[in-house]
Structure 1
């Protein structure tokens, strides 16, 4: 019988390789497609921002117009001391004339401010406002000038 000793194995070096050329090509193609997709999404986003800004512009302008009207009416309120129903009458009249004449509610409120500064009370302002707007329209006058003329006539 043969005597068995330890088994001795030699060192082995195994290298396993794959041909990943197709994989690399596919990854590069996917990368190009992702970049193109990113560019188109970015361009779409920029168009949406421009469109949104353009769509919101009228609302911003309306906010400015509303703020000017409110500012003019606050001045009228301070000058006349009108509160409650009296101030509401002035507010409603300015808006009504803004809808029914060539002048805006802000311009009507401006005329009210001139009248209030001249010392007219709420009822006097309500009485002279519409005729003053007609005077301004007929004479193609600035609202403040027409209101000054009306005050001088009174």
Structure 2
């Protein structure tokens, strides 16, 4: 059985009141359930829009706030568009990478969509975790695969499809 370690660093105190660590452990465990048994690790920076905008500028050349950013510990993408990335080796580096998530943007997006912030944050943490595993949405085939996997994981958690009509992604 896999052990999931979520190392959460809280920069914005609003995340401390939100209970991000417990939520992250639950949803990332669901996102990694298909992996071989190992001690998988994900680090999460819980920040605000100002901090994530700085990170987005530094690493992606986009000086604007976003909801979640990911930094995989190694390149894991599939060789063919629409193909499932190879899972990480449980005997290798089990540190999957880092995520940063912005409170302000998450809260605004959840309010705009009329959904619970915990559901939206769950979706974003799953989305970021899948990026750590090599999934992406650079083309339609990859995007469709990633969306399908996200909605399957969210469904297992009892969370509605975020790509349905009248939603943030739909």
Same fold (TM over 0.5): no
**Higher RCO (CA 8 Å, separation ≥ 6 residues):** 2
Q: Higher helix share goes to which structure? A: 1
Q: Higher strand share goes to which structure? A: 2
TM norm structure 2: 0.27
Structure having the higher Rg: 1
TM norm structure 1: 0.29
